[in-house]
Structure 1
């Protein structure tokens, strides 16, 4: 008898994956693809939309033919801040512009002068000023630079909703995409910001649809439910929300280290926005206050500097054990490390440190992590509120024993866990529409945790 499954398309900037997930949330099939980027009309790199579209159709057709699986539902998660502009026939009118594309300064200044200034728009939309990464600004640019193209747009869909549209033919808008650093959503009024209607941009969006809803769809002779798609950062949080009711913060670590607090709905302040805080959107429509630092990138840069200085291979540091005696030694050598004097800061101090003061590569690396932790705690405290009792760390730093011990030491009143969910984004995207395809409740053992206890904290 065929196994009931949900098909999840998880589309990152580099890897595009298809997962089949069974009713117990086990991944029973995985397929991965990578595409060569194309360029837009300015010669700047961007996603190959034709390849992506073909891949979705081909992959779905392939798994529908597999006799061992019964596809009950399909859903999508992708990176954010990317619009697909469709004409009345559902064909893309432009390339899928890269969210890192430089934004014209004159147009940016004109927009903020017209609608009340950067600070006002930022506070109301919970979005730092990020140029093209504010996807609403991409639409504003298209309207004012290429009005003839803008006039032809029937639908402007964020990438997850475009992939859903490919299967359902139904244009929808989703809060996890619309509400995340787009400058489209007024968090105070819980509706599109007034500039969106004044520019007649809201007419290009699909019908606003709940992120946990699905549409019964017929495709190539098969019938199944199709979700509306989710922004990947919001999707990755869903397994934690499904498994834990006690207030927590998730620190998602990679190139960026993003602290997400789904239990903090306080409006962003001017000071928080200036320090790169923003709001993501919970798939049920609540704001998720977040702060971020470029710590993974800084770690890679400084690790290379240490490895070069001490003539060591960088990979040897990956599984370095925590050495409390080195921390004591560094506290005597660098006064600012002493626990009663530790100053948390917005930037890591390690880039300015002379490596000659360290006797060994291990000593230097412990100081690097110590400096990154000072920065992490600074960032974390921007979004921490009373009631939070647990910190979960997933991604690369969750596997770093030195990082985890020093983090636990720095916040002794909060339980600290290294956590991991296999393919958290895909699992979260399936969980969002669990009731549409799965008769079972969400399992409670999908997150692996390693607790850093009070005893381990003692230095």
Structure 2
């Protein structure tokens, strides 16, 4: 690590665009939070489709960045965000966009679904099954092209979400492997080439040069700096995919093959050691990338939404009671997937979630059952990734101590650790600054879960029965991917 830079208190600003919230944080170069600002990520109605308010985000970002620089010695800025967004832009970085940025949680027209599916390539091209609603940058660009062919023909670049904001800040267009590999359907990370749909649809001219996440693209645009009072010396990094940068935090800490399970709206599992032939697109498994371009096995399931369906309301601030979990394992009370519209790891299960056995009739019981259900889904993700070694847990599920305890108890022959930081993505993004100069592992705080006080044999038998029940009713089978013409 460059001790001189660390000693002078230099900071990096991390701009993190989530689906619901947006954060701008001042971080140390070794990934420690100094200050964070946030705002809601508003969605506007169409026409031509529901879209995010890029103009409003721009005003907030540039003004907040100026404020952050007044309070902290910020020298660099890096952008990160989710992978289900791309922005079509013209040549002028002062233009918000050539077309509004599509909200991925809306349903595309049936003609878009039917027309796109046969163009999407094989699993290595997609990196996933064809997912719900308007996911995938390639499908969004296809929708734009079908709806507004002249606007697409006049546009200059199609940029992943983090690189869009890096371009707005620096005027330098770029593409980056973790964002492209986050199921954009534009980049085959195994073959290291653009997917067939790019050339087939005439999009090659829209694809910007590839740069690594840690590369300095250039200084902030002088006119932008002067307009908002941002220091002109500020340099802009390429940036990357949020979950991949959270994984990078562990890799930078000396865990290159870490299996990381991040929890929130989604349970996101990522493991560089997962064999590619173990990836099953029909079980929510995906192919991602780390910041170096190495393929990374992954799994996605909407665990946060499932948790909410089971827990209901009334116990948000209360910790789950371990004694109630023991009661469930004794009585055989089960929550079984899937309650939402996502199959997750159980193909065909969407909307068929159910409870079995004696009911969990109080809010406290529902909360405990939800934590147990979340732990079982997590272990299912870990097993799908073929991981029998060290697993690191992080994210919102860890607000309840029983969650990590149950995951560890369900993996009795392997080690489970957890991290309680609520800013893992920002920390990983900040660590990019010293990617090429780091000589020792970056610091990270990992803890061991508390021991499970209940009957471990009963818990193991319960988990086995839960998996059997989850596979019943003939819905645990391969099905055509959602959004294909076979639906």
So what's the TM-score if we normalise by structure 2?
0.79
SS at match of 2:115: helix
8 Å Cα contact 1:322/1:405 also seen in 2: no
Shift of 1:46: 2.1
Tell which deviates more after alignment, 357-366 or 12-21: 357-366
The 8 Å contact of residues 24 and 443 in structure 1, kept in 2 or not, is answered as: no
Q: Which residue of 1 aligns with 2:420?
A: 420
Instruction: Map residues 101-112 of structure 1 onto 2, 5 A cutoff.
Output: 101-112=106-117
Match of 2:79 in 1: 76
Query: How has the CA–CA distance of structure 1 residues 392 and 384 changed in structure 2, closer, same or farther, with 3 Å as cutoff?
Result: same
> Would the alpha carbon gap of residues 336 and 207 (structure 1) be closer, same or farther in structure 2, given more than 3 Å must change?
closer
Q: Residue 410 of structure 1: CA displacement?
A: 1.7
Q: Which residue of 2 aligns with 1:403?
A: 403
Structure 2 equivalent of residue 10 of structure 1:
16
Q: Which residue of 1 aligns with 2:90?
A: 87
Question: Closer, same or farther in 2 for the Cα pair 1:441/1:456, shift >3 Å?
Answer: farther
Match of 2:355? 353
Residue aligned with 2:234, SS: strand
Report the structure, 1 or 2, having the larger strand content: 1
How many aligned positions are there?
Answer: 429
Q: Could you say if the C-alpha distance between residues 358 and 47 of structure 1 is closer, same or farther in structure 2, counting changes exceeding 3 Å?
A: closer
The alpha-carbon deviation at position 47 of structure 1 amounts to: 1.2
Q: Is the 8 A contact 1:128 1:274 kept in 2?
A: yes
The DSSP-based 3-state class of the residue aligned with 2:316 is helix
Q: 2:395, 2:422 within 8 Å by CA — same for their partners in 1? A: no
Cα RMSD between the aligned structures?
3.1
The CA distance in 1 between the partners of 2:299 and 2:201, in whole Å, is 30
Counterpart check, 1:266 vs 2:258:
no
CA spacing shift, 1:396–1:59, aligned 2, 3 Å? closer
- Compared CA separation, residues 136 and 446, structure 1 to 2 (3 A): same
Q: Is the Cα–Cα contact under 8 Å of residues 333 and 356 in structure 2 kept in the other structure?
A: no
1:316-342, Cα deviation, whole Å (9 max, x unpaired) = 6x313422xx555444432999xxxxx
Residue pairs, 1:236-251, within 5 angstroms = 236-245=246-255, 247-251=257-261
Q: Distance in 1 between matches of 2:366 and 2:46?
A: 44
Q: Could you say if the C-alpha distance between residues 403 and 457 of structure 1 is closer, same or farther in structure 2, counting changes exceeding 3 Å?
A: farther
Per-residue deviation at 1:45?
Answer: 3.5
Identify the residue that residue 200 of structure 1 maps to in structure 2: 202
Q: Give distance in 1, aligned partners of 2:365 and 2:64.
A: 49
Which stretch shifts more, 142-151 or 104-113?
104-113
Q: Spell out the pairing of 1:19-38 with structure 2 (5 A cutoff).
A: 19-34=25-40, 36-38=42-44
For the pair 1:314 / 2:324, whether they are aligned, the reply is no
SS at match of 1:93: coil
3-state secondary structure, aligned to 2:246:
helix
1:50-107, CA deviations, whole angstroms, 9 ceiling, x for partnerless residues?
A: 111222222233334x2x6332211111222212211233322111111123223233
SS at match of 2:273: coil
1:376 aligns to what SS in structure 2?
helix
- Establish whether residue 290 from structure 1 lines up as the match of residue 298 from structure 2: yes
Going from structure 1 to structure 2, the CA distance change for 1:368 and 1:3 (only over 3 Å counts) comes to closer
Q: TM-score, normalization: structure 1?
A: 0.83
Counting only pairs closer than 5 Å after superposition, residues 17-166 of structure 1 correspond to structure 2 as 17-34=23-40, 36-42=42-48, 44-64=49-69, 66=70, 69-90=72-93, 91=95, 92-113=97-118, 115=119, 121-130=122-131, 131-166=133-168
CA distance change for structure 1 residues 45 and 193 in 2, over 3 Å: closer, same or farther?
closer
CA contact (8 A) 1:19 1:426 kept: yes
Cα separation, 2, equivalents of 1:89 and 1:349: 45
Aligned counterparts of 2:350 and 2:47: Cα–Cα separation in 1: 39
